[in-house]
Amino acid sequence: MRGLGWKWGGGILAIVIALVVFVVPFVFIVFTAGKTQAEAAALEFSWPTEWVFFENIATVLQTRDFLLVRAFLNSAILTTVAVAVMVVLGAMVGYVLQRRRSRWNPLVNTLVLAGLIIPPAVVPTIWVLQGLGLFKTLVGLIAVHVAFGLSFCILLFRAFVATIPRELDEAAIIDGAGPVKLFFRVVFPLLRSVIVTVIVVQAVFVFNDFTYALYFLPGDENATVQLTTFNYISQSVSSFNLLFADVLLITIPPLIMYIFFQRQIVAGMTSGAVKG
């Protein structure tokens, strides 16, 4: 009975902590987004005396000639292309590292780990992008995200490829499949769970990124959703209602992804970690 009590007590305590850490801030954002400018300036956790939620949302969408709408389009393009490149390249490199042993493997593994450990350098990255003519372009920011996020993807794919029997590769080769057909027709479909994990995790990271977009993609024409918060931070403290309405709008897409794909995320992470 004592063990059962500890079990239920620990579960209830974990739920309470989760509510305090995650739900309470979200409710505060919703309440503040529904207040008037004067009431939101107090930053109090209270029900709005005058509910103007939809008016604030409309104001945020129309600010600076619908800048948030353009930012959503830029972020959608950035996230889709960057994640697609990371999935394909990460799966290919992870497969080669796991299946084909060579004297270059230790060097490649060192570079992959270095990509996780060494922090990104802003000034050298800007210098490289300027030399390539990609600074202040969406293509350049996509390249930056791919370069900084590829190491994580490679480690996940490599660990999961280890769970795929080599007999499948040998059978496909006997049937006449070349390297490209072997990977995309046999191996790649088997990576579905870890692909979903990589897509959701990296998509949320790229979509929520603030610093990379600030350093490498300045300018309103290339603004991403996170940079639109500057519209209300730099004006005055009385714009907190619009600021939180903007934060709420840009929080909804990642939140929906996590809600619908949380099981696939856990399956992909645990499969690679336990079996790899």
Q: Could you give the 3-state DSSP secondary structure of residue 75?
A: helix
Confidence of residue 276 (pLDDT cuts 50, 70, 90): very low
pLDDT at position 1: 53
- Rounded Cα distance between 52 and 240, Å, is 13
For the chain, the domains span 66-275
pTM: 0.82
Confidence of residue 3 (pLDDT cuts 50, 70, 90): low
pLDDT at position 13: 82
| Better-scored residue on pLDDT, 18 or 138 | 138
| Better-scored residue on pLDDT, 40 or 220 | 40
pLDDT at position 86: 95
Closest listed residue to residue 225, CA positions, set 240, 208, 242? 208
Tens-digit pLDDT profile for residues 112-138 = 888 888 888 888 999 999 999 999 899
The phi, psi pair for 100, rounded to 5°, reads -110, 110
Q: What is the mean pLDDT of residues 76-92?
A: 94
Q: What is the mean pLDDT of residues 81-106?
A: 90
- Among 8-12, 140-144, 231-235, 248-252, whose mean pLDDT is lowest? 231-235
> What is the CATH code of the structural domain delimited by 66-275?
1.10.3720.10
Q: Do residues 257 and 201 lie in contact, with contact meaning Cβ atoms separated by under 8 Å? A: no
* Other beta carbons within 10 Å of 158: 23
pLDDT at residue 245 is higher than 70 = yes
Q: What is the mean pLDDT of residues 98-109?
A: 84
Render the burial of 73-109: b for 16+ CB within 10 Å, e for the rest: ebbeebbebbbebbbeebbbbbbbbbbeeeeeeeeee
Q: What is the mean pLDDT of residues 48-66?
A: 89
Q: What is the mean pLDDT of residues 219-233?
A: 82
| Better-scored residue on pLDDT, 76 or 64 | 76
pLDDT at residue 237 is higher than 70 = no
Confidence of residue 275 (pLDDT cuts 50, 70, 90): very low
Q: For residue 57, what are the contacts with CB-CB under 8 A and spacing of at least 6? A: 33, 245, 249
| Better-scored residue on pLDDT, 9 or 173 | 173
